[in-house]
Amino acid sequence: MKRIILMLLLLPTLTLFSQTSFNSEAYRVTLADIETNVYEKDSTANAVIIYQHGKSWVSPSTYKLMTKEKHKIKILNKEGFDKATVELYMYRRNGNDYEKVDDILATTYNMVDGNVVKSQLSKKDIFKEKYNENFDVVKFTLPNIKEGSVITYSYTIKSPFMFKYKGWEFQHDVPTLYSEYQTSIPGNWIYNIKLVGGKKLATNTADVKRNCLEGSRGASANCLESVYAMKDIPAFIEEDYMTTVDNYLARVEYELKTFNGFDGSVKNFTKEWKDVDKELRIDQNVGKQLLKSVKLEDLLPTDLINGSNSLENATSIYEHIQKNYTWNEKFRIFKNVSVKDLIKNKSGNVGALNILLHNILKEKGYNVKPLLISTRQNGHPTKIYPVISDFNYLVVHVTINGETYLLDATDKYLSFGEIPFRCLNLFGRLLDFNAGSDWFDIVPKKSNVVYEAKMQIDEDKNIVGTIKSRRTGYHAYNHRRSYFRNKPAYIERLENKSPDIIISDFEAIESTTTGPVFKEQYTIEYPGEETGDNIYLDPFFVKFFTENPFKLQERSYPIDFGYQDSYYYTLKLNLGGKYEVVEKPKPVIASLPDKAGKVFFSSSIFENELSLTLRIDFKKAVYVAEYYPYLKKFMNKIVNIQNNSLVLLKRK
């Protein structure tokens, strides 16, 4: 009897529990989907993709690529309402060939007064418009969206483009409980299949279906039928120090490699690099532009033409191109690249500008090669096989006295040997039309920031003195560009960073628009926090990091700074024989695993002078995701040092 009573008491609890878990196993909406309004694994989620399913196959009657998709989503709060608006981008080419979406069905489910109310999407609320020259967009928003709504929508895409086999994204900016993709690929089409994002598949099966596609004269093909699925996929949250999202989102991609016709014909789409090199050599926008000769007397001053092939003369030639030609802010390297038009108009795209620089240095006798790059926002280029469309940028690789330099003429503030930060994307493809192309690692030099503060306390108990700084690498570039573009605005921003500090006598020392080092110095006056005869002093008149940029619970993608860097700050405070230090900050020494970074903070007193030193070293340009918890703690220490270090001084 006691057992029966216990079971009866537990029954409501079990029933309640069964109604508080989403049904991620099917497209059908259940009562639990509607009544469950929290996602315990991620309390910050605005919505949850409960279930999504895709299936792609080739129609045996039309030979078109068909894709059927189904999506079921829970809206948890108002910030998740955007998930009820769906945009489908349909590719088109030459006006006659285009993708088409049919059979759009969408429903919103709400609980109203204890009853489930369904609201259907009307066909009149489906809109189609031109997006750009290659895509149309089909849009719709599900009706009657509220906090707690469950939405479902499905559609079928018909595509004549077998070279664009439908890829599938398992991961999104909200959590996904279950995502499955089924594919059926006839043996006529052979694809390179790539799984991106590093997430593990819960399901990965393949089977062969015989005679799934028929051709003329009794010909037929077998189909490879695959199923890919992932479960409990966390939301992808963007954070500082990363390249494009496309590098990390969990998904499967297809690149057409070979087509085998029923008539025995074979057409190769994905080739080897030796084949691509030959094509690039005769390409109108790449090879033919790179192989053109130029008349130096029409492009350079006499002293640069007659100068030796030294590093100094190469620098002068580079700066001459920077000053006399302007980038039109277009990243084109395979379209509308014309060195002739650039010379005429004094303005052009990335390809034209840097090919002109390449050709001038080559004509002068320097050892130069073009380097194809994919910018940080364009994604990492594929290394497994050539995908020339992965590249969207070109810079110049020059070797002088055994040293290699990368050059880009698009920015008038870049120093010789620097390329824009947007190009720091691990590696590029170095073209050599004689020996063949090869991969080239992009490894920028370390960037540094050094501050030196020399201070004293005046009769009014103000801290006064001078601050000198020295920057190299990308730190120098950022400040150089900001300063020389608008000097008054630069100084104003410097003053606004610390409202309590008065800045005067600002001076940029030995600094030029393209110099590799940027130096500055200025005088400051800072009121100490006075309490009777005591003064509380914040010793950091300059702060490198005011807050921790790493806030996620976990991060599944690399921390990409782009370059190694270090920060160094020293303070020397002359106490003038009038003050003594009652309390000073405690020393801190902390390191990242494998000595990949270090922070050192100390203070000392010698001959009536307080000295304080902070050094921060990041010894990697890119940290793998496993470093994230350590970097987060490391940065917490740095921020805490700069924000919570006080010196207590007492008048003698």
pLDDT, tens digit, for every residue of 144-160?
999 999 999 999 999 99
CA atoms within 13 A on the CB side of 470: 6
Cβ(391)–Cβ(381) below 8 Å: yes
Q: Given the DSSP bridges, would you call strands 326-327 and 347-348 parallel, antiparallel or unpaired?
A: parallel
Residues in Cβ contact with 142 at an 8 Å cutoff, skipping those fewer than 6 apart? 84, 85, 86, 106, 107, 108, 119, 121, 151, 153
Q: pLDDT category, 5, cuts 50, 70, 90?
A: very low
Is residue 3 pLDDT above 90, yes or no? no
Give the three-state DSSP class for 157: strand
| pLDDT tens profile 575-613 | 988 888 999 999 999 999 999 999 999 999 988 899 999
Share of the chain above pLDDT 70, in %: 97
d(CA 245, CA 420): 20
Query: How large is the angle between the packed helices 311-324 and 350-364, nearest 10 degrees?
Result: 150
Residues in Cβ contact with 5 at an 8 Å cutoff, skipping those fewer than 6 apart? none
Is residue 10 pLDDT above 70, yes or no? no
d(CA 620, CA 563): 7
User: Residue 181: its pLDDT value, please?
Assistant: 98
Q: Where are the domains of the chain?
A: 23-267, 273-441, 447-651
Average pLDDT over every residue of 114-123: 96
Is residue 431 pLDDT above 90, yes or no? yes
Mean pLDDT of the chain: 93
pTM: 0.88
Share of the chain above pLDDT 90, in %: 85
User: Residue 648: its pLDDT value, please?
Assistant: 87
Average pLDDT over every residue of 16-23: 59
For residue 31, the Cα-to-chain-centroid distance in whole angstroms is 40
CA atoms within 13 A on the CB side of 29: 23
Q: pLDDT category, 16, cuts 50, 70, 90?
A: very low
Q: Which two tokens stand for residue 301?
A: 């001053």
For residue 192, list its beta bridge partners: 255
Cβ(276)–Cβ(261) below 8 Å: no
Q: Given the DSSP bridges, would you call strands 367-373 and 393-400 parallel, antiparallel or unpaired?
A: antiparallel
Is residue 425 pLDDT above 50, yes or no? yes
Q: Which two tokens stand for residue 252?
A: 């499967």
| pLDDT tens profile 445-490 | 999 999 999 999 988 888 999 999 999 999 999 999 999 999 999 9
User: Residue 271: its pLDDT value, please?
Assistant: 85
Rg of the chain in Å (alpha carbons): 31
Q: ∠18-20-23 over CA atoms, to 5°? A: 80
> Which class would CATH give 447-651?
mainly beta
User: Residue 384: its pLDDT value, please?
Assistant: 87
| pLDDT tens profile 546-567 | 999 999 988 989 999 999 999 9
Is residue 534 pLDDT above 70, yes or no? yes
Equal fold, 273-441 vs 447-651: no
- Dihedral Cα 573, 577, 581, 584, nearest 10 deg: 20
Q: Which residue has the tokens 């031109």?
A: 130
| pLDDT tens profile 167-217 | 999 999 999 999 999 999 999 999 999 999 989 999 999 999 999 998 877
Is residue 11 pLDDT above 50, yes or no? no
Residue 172, number of CB atoms within 10 A of its CB: 18
User: Residue 370: its pLDDT value, please?
Assistant: 98
User: Residue 34: its pLDDT value, please?
Assistant: 96
User: Residue 19: its pLDDT value, please?
Assistant: 40
User: Residue 266: its pLDDT value, please?
Assistant: 93
User: Residue 563: its pLDDT value, please?
Assistant: 98
Residues in Cβ contact with 201 at an 8 Å cutoff, skipping those fewer than 6 apart? 195, 228, 229, 230
User: Residue 313: its pLDDT value, please?
Assistant: 97
SS (H, E, C) 312-359: HHHHHHHHHHHHHCEECCCCCCCCCCCHHHHHHHCEECHHHHHHHHHH
| pLDDT tens profile 361-392 | 999 999 999 999 999 999 999 998 899 999 99
Is residue 531 pLDDT above 80, yes or no? no
CATH number of 273-441: 3.10.620.30
d(CA 621, CA 598): 14
User: Residue 498: its pLDDT value, please?
Assistant: 81
For residue 3, the Cα-to-chain-centroid distance in whole angstroms is 59
The structural architecture, per CATH, of the domain 23-267 is Sandwich (2.60)
| pLDDT tens profile 318-329 | 999 999 999 999
Q: Which two tokens stand for residue 364?
A: 């002068």
Q: pLDDT category, 535, cuts 50, 70, 90?
A: confident
**DSSP conformational letter for 162:** G
User: Residue 2: its pLDDT value, please?
Assistant: 41
User: Residue 277: its pLDDT value, please?
Assistant: 95
User: Residue 532: its pLDDT value, please?
Assistant: 74
User: Residue 279: its pLDDT value, please?
Assistant: 93
Residues in Cβ contact with 589 at an 8 Å cutoff, skipping those fewer than 6 apart? 598, 599, 600, 601
Average pLDDT over every residue of 69-91: 97
